[in-house]
Structure 1
């Protein structure tokens, strides 16, 4: 008996769960699942395991085979475990309602336990616990009953709600039938069919004005009763835009100002539905025009958002205030500009709205119109003398936000109305924002209008960026925007203003085209980084992985000699120090403390020993030797050259004496300057030699 009971329970549990969650499994998979569940049930009697497994398997297979049929999970269970007290499958109705609760809510149930959930659902009105609704992956609507401690009491298909005769008659508009039912014995019009939903709400929802009259004549006291969300029949009728029903309810004395739980009144809802006829009817019955919803919006603000001038005019005549702001401090005028509603914007300004009113964040109507790209609104506001020099809390003017958005026509309009002195006080130029967002067309417009291409961010705004960028050129370089870089450089932008120079950014990204543009326009290839001092040009740290770029920098004035300066020379070097505190006090190998080299910075031999760079140490040193005379390689550089046999020729190249041709080349470049080399009256092959465009040495004779 224990085994039979357990098998019966397992079959029932699988019929409820597997019908929906495991309907995609084949018979073999369901068989394995049922066996595993039966074997792991520690509470089952050991003598009944085999019987339980067999019955569970049959239930699982049958549930799977019927997964796509119209039979419910309960019907599957009934088919496999014949029990006299069960209802037939036909008594289980199809579900109608759904919920968003996920199926995972079932995870706490042990369906293979000897005490499965009951098959008869509890009475929802008396059930002590909570009820959850969910939809299975196959689209079945389910309901679960759980106690307060989480114990599952019942789970099954959601029963179909049987529509009451009165509500059905109202829905189809059968007024005579409604009258008969209303006048019949035992009919209580104050009894809801579902939470708060009375017959009067049903009539208002479906727009059955004749049925509505019958109901109100029979029970006028229910006219202002509220449904689950606090809505009255009047609010329901307004929301569905059933004007005849609205008129009937008003004639029968419905309260025009009762809101729902979101504090939306019928007048507000009528403006939301853009129904001028309903608004007029409500105003004729004295609806309050300045009531605010839960977010502070008034009926006027909603009408403005819908661009309905007719409704706005009615509301204004009824006493609507232009200055009432919502929860976020937004007035109707601001709403019109923000949503691009020209007609209502004209109407509000005509009736005295403040064109320069500001939201709590400082934004004006002009600012919001520019931000949202409403050209017609911007043009109209400027024609009405809107102030283009009012900034928000971030300090941005309408011109800033238009440049950031890339609205060319709006930028052209705002340039004429914006003070350049006011732009400078903002601490950021529209050029910065246009370059940051790659708005090349806007960038060109601003340059043509004379905005300073070398304008720098204020100290406060610089601190917002970790790299302390300050110029529009830097933004263009870091975005790898070659066109913008060229445009700014041609307009006179200096590449030497930022703390971390744009040429270093270009070298780090490996963009030789941008680096070439910057060098050609005077970028200092020997610049240092104040926050990270080095004894050699800092740009080398980012370019040595690209030997062609590294050579280009040396060809264009990069200093090579500092790369061979080392305070240790031929003596052993201490271990590489990675922190500033370690570098401030260096201990020599003889045990003596050296003088702190606080301002020395990182040496070239230390930098080239980094794991990510040392594999290229030989070729890098080889290139550097072409740009220096007599130098001595320190012990660490020698270690690198000794680490690879093929690099021994580089050691020979560094050994004195250096070739006379090399020394002459260095001296000529020093005396003449690299920019004047091509003007020298010398053969082309010699000019190429001086420029480090190497030909064979045999080509030269003196």
Structure 2
């Protein structure tokens, strides 16, 4: 048993020198090589890193070298054979489809997006055979193996010089035979057509032994060959000899007329039409000759087909009409001919898209003006609700947006996602388009969408657009609708949150200066900034009233939740305490001096490098500070954290767990002494003054600067200053 595996390289379909080594590397690496001057036949094995030694060789020389080396291999170990087979099999499987297409001269298929025009395809004729010679002083075998009895793999590939090769491998990966691929001799009739030899075509066509209905390849007749190469004189002779093949189809369902149109062979098109070719027969993708002529942008062929009365509104397999295909190329001459022949302006393709939508999407101003002049609806919507204005804003076509707005296009028509053209323009960062859409967009309509363009501008860091929207009066405290909030795991809701999580200081500053409330989100922006260690944004938020002592409803704690994200950054932790963070709740513990139950931790999505303790008992009781500080990723800083907190409290009692932490390291014994009663009178006075006056009014007190700094926890008390 054997199987065919067609090997080729994707893209360029060429086998370069490096690719040639990849193909024959395993064989060459296992061969014993006798190098010049070695004095014997036992040389070192060629390794993959030695390929640079042969970089000056041509493809043919490399190929011959690989063959000769494979012959010197006397035996191959089982492991090496398996590895060789695996490499070759992977190469075969990867490139099989590309080579199969190459050998049939069929272009690569391309994927199509929702709105984009499909990539045109056409039937290619058999490629002209090129002569190739192959010689080797010592080929593996003089003749290829008999395919009826060969048990292995047949691989086909192409060298860098374009030479087609075929190699035979055993199942263990060892090379059996390699040689140029046997050439298929081109039939005399098809060669004569390709060369344009009319006399020879006439002689062969009328020859009793010639069957004009016999294809050279699946579905490819002599008449298709003549239409492809534009040999109209040969085409006339073939039709006179066998008129019945005028509408025969190729393997893709293409008639000779469709082949001629695809190749823009006007003379052949006229000959075929004169000889009764049916201009309505499509290929298997339902593309008619008229559609293909519009795709090829040939006004002359379109005119010839229209003069024969073809239908102008026939759709291809994706629902495109000839007019829609023409609009992509903005050929007004063909558009005018199609409209005069009865083309409809508002026919939709399979996505509900009209020609006007296509023109707006592709920025074709001339075609857009033409369609609107002839009555196309500027507010047409696709199946997903997108309008031509929305699509033009999405693609950044400023002139198209301006033109559509001048013709009263509705800027307040939402798509199925609920968003307006202003939303998509803000998301894309199109300043000019945003400035055009702001005056015609209803703020009430924006509120009904459940998302503000401010959210999208902040999410994409479009600072210029954000500033423009703020100046236009859009609500900086607008919140996402419940449906849109649920799309985010952290349940964010404000534009400020988007700016903070992007670490965009400028955007956060603009929003806060415009009145953004930093306390609207369930998971506060201050917590986000603290988790990321963004001290600059933390300061901005605190200065604009961020609640340092806020809790998270879904994850309750007995202490300010922001401490969970700032304890690793002691300067930041101290800043929060200096500006109103409560320290006393950190020392409240329901167990006191009694033993604590074992700590249970669970992975938190708040901080990717830390665990969080699970709440003990009912959820409403919350996680205690002593439990939070005991997680493995934080407990190493327990001493310094407790030391900082003691500066902001009076008489407190450390619970048994905090004492365990302080006892775990001898250097922290001073902290334990610091917590022991009584606390210094100076510390108690500082706390009392802050409680009575408040931190914001300290500067107004008629006190020396050093004392003010002491009250703010910035310096030592006056009697300790030097």
Q: CA deviation at 1:578?
A: 3.6
Q: RMSD over aligned Cα, in angstroms? A: 3.6
Once residues 405 and 471 of structure 2 are traced to their aligned partners in structure 1, the CA distance between those partners, rounded to angstroms, is 22
Tell me, yes or no, if the aligned pair for 2:356 and 2:371 is still in contact at 8 Å: yes
CA offset at residue 501 of structure 1?
A: 0.2
1:80-126 superposed Cα distances (whole Å, 9 cap, x missing partner): 9xxxxxxxxxxxxxxxxxx9854789xxxxxxxxxx99935669xxx
Aligned to 1:446: 469
| 1:271-316 per-position Cα deviation (integer Å, ceiling 9, x unaligned) | 0011111101111011111111111111011001111111111111
Counterpart of 2:278 in 1: which secondary structure? Answer: coil
Matching residue within 207, 210, 234 for 2:233: 210
The answer as to whether partners of 1:74 and 1:156 remain within 8 angstroms in 2 is no
1:625 to 2:646 alignment: yes
User: 2:490, 2:671 → 1: CA distance?
Assistant: 37
Q: Tell me the equivalent position of 1:380.
A: 403
Maintained 8 Å contact 2:27/2:66 = no
Structure 1 partner of 2:82: none
- Distance between the aligned counterparts of 2:63 and 2:673, measured in 1? 91
Which residue of 1 is the match for residue 715 of structure 2?
Answer: 694
Q: Does 1:541 align with 2:525?
A: no
Question: What corresponds to 1:51 in structure 2?
Answer: none
The structural deviation recorded for 1:695 is 2.9
- Give the one of 309, 315, 338 matched to 2:332: 309
Aligned partners of 2:28 and 2:70 also within 8 Å: no
Mapped contact 1:118–1:153 kept (Cα < 8 A)? no
Q: Hey, what's the Cα distance between the residues in 2 that align with 1:361 and 1:584?
A: 45
Q: Is the 8 A contact 1:231 1:260 kept in 2?
A: yes
Cα distance between partner residues in 2 of 1:176 and 1:243: 22
- CA 1:578–1:77 in structure 2 vs 1: closer, same or farther (change >3 Å)? closer
1:119 pairs with 2:138: no
Structure 2 Cα separation of the partners of residues 386 and 203 of structure 1 = 50
Q: For the residues of structure 2 that align with 1:350 and 1:103, how far apart are their CA atoms?
A: 51
Deviations 1:568-613 (A, max 9, x none): 1111111113479x99996xxxxxxxxx554220000000000000
Aligned to 2:3: none
Give ranges in structure 1 of 5+ residues lacking alignment: 1-17, 33-53, 58-63, 81-98, 106-115, 147-151, 587-595
Q: Distance in 2 between matches of 1:227 and 1:612?
A: 70
What residue in structure 1 maps to residue 629 of structure 2?
A: 608
Equivalence for 1:244: 267
TM-score normalised over the length of structure 1: 0.81
Taking a change above 3 Å as real, the CA distance of residues 418 and 530 of structure 1, as seen in their structure-2 partners, is same
**Equivalent residue number for residue 447 of structure 2:** 424
Cα gap change, 1:300 to 1:28, in 2 (>3 Å): closer
Q: Which residue of 2 aligns with 1:280?
A: 303
Contact 2:706 2:718 in 1 (8 A): no
Between the aligned partners of 2:579 and 2:327, the Cα distance in structure 1 is: 64
Q: Does 1:659 align with 2:660?
A: no
Q: Deviations over 1:108-150 (max 9, x none)?
A: xxxxxxxx99935669xxx99999874268776456899xxxx
Tell me how far apart the structure 2 counterparts of residues 432 and 21 of structure 1 sit (CA, whole Å): 52
Q: Name the counterpart of 1:289.
A: 312
Where in structure 2 are the equivalents of 1:16-95 lying within 5 Å? 23-24=24-25, 29-31=30-32, 68-69=60-61
Post-superposition offset of 1:634:
0.6
- State which drifts further: 548-557 or 315-324: 315-324
Cα deviation code 1:156-206 (max 9, x no counterpart): 653222122221221122222222222334122211111111111111111
Give the counterpart of 1:339 among 316, 341, 362: 362
TM-score by length of 2: 0.78
Superposed counterparts of 1:343-358, under 5 Å: 343-358=366-381
In structure 2, how many angstroms separate the alpha carbons of the residues matched to 1:321 and 1:162?
A: 50
Which of 478, 500, 506 aligns to 2:523? It is 500
Q: Following TM superposition, by how much is the alpha carbon of 1:78 offset from its aligned partner in structure 2, in angstroms? A: 14
- 2:16 aligns with none
Aligned length: 613
Distance in 2 of aligned mates of 1:72 and 1:269: 47
**Conserved? CA contact 1:665–1:690, under 8 Å:** yes
Q: Distance in 2 between matches of 1:334 and 1:133?
A: 48
Contact in 2 for aligned 1:73/1:156 (Cα 8 Å): no
Structure 1 counterpart of 2:157, from 123, 135, 155: 135
Range with bigger deviation, 674-683 or 131-140 = 131-140
Deviates more, 1:426-435 or 1:200-209: 200-209
Higher relative contact order (CA 8 A, sep 6+): 2
Deviates more, 1:414-423 or 1:318-327: 318-327
SS in 2 for 1:135: strand
Instruction: Tell me, in whole angstroms, the C-alpha distance in 2 between the residues paired with 1:78 and 1:675.
Output: 87
1:608-632 CA-to-partner distances (Å, cap 9, x unmatched) read 0000000000000000000001111
Greater Cα shift, 529-538 or 131-140: 131-140
| 1:257 aligned to which of 271, 280, 289 | 280
Q: Which of 595, 599, 606 lines up with 2:620 in the alignment?
A: 599
C-alpha distance in structure 1 between counterparts of 2:411 and 2:164, whole Å: 57
CA contact (8 A) 2:710 2:717 kept: no
Is the Cα–Cα contact under 8 Å of residues 145 and 177 in structure 2 kept in the other structure? yes
Taking a change above 3 Å as real, the CA distance of residues 498 and 132 of structure 1, as seen in their structure-2 partners, is: farther
Q: Which whole-Å CA distance do the structure 2 matches of 1:532 and 1:272 have between them?
A: 61
Structure 2: give runs of 5+ residues left out of the alignment. 1-18, 34-41, 46-53, 73-90, 98-140, 170-174, 604-611
Moved more, 342-351 or 131-140: 131-140
How much does 1:698 deviate?
3.0
Which stretch has the larger CA shift, 315-324 or 20-29?
Answer: 20-29
Among 581, 587, 607, the alignment partner of 1:564 is: 587
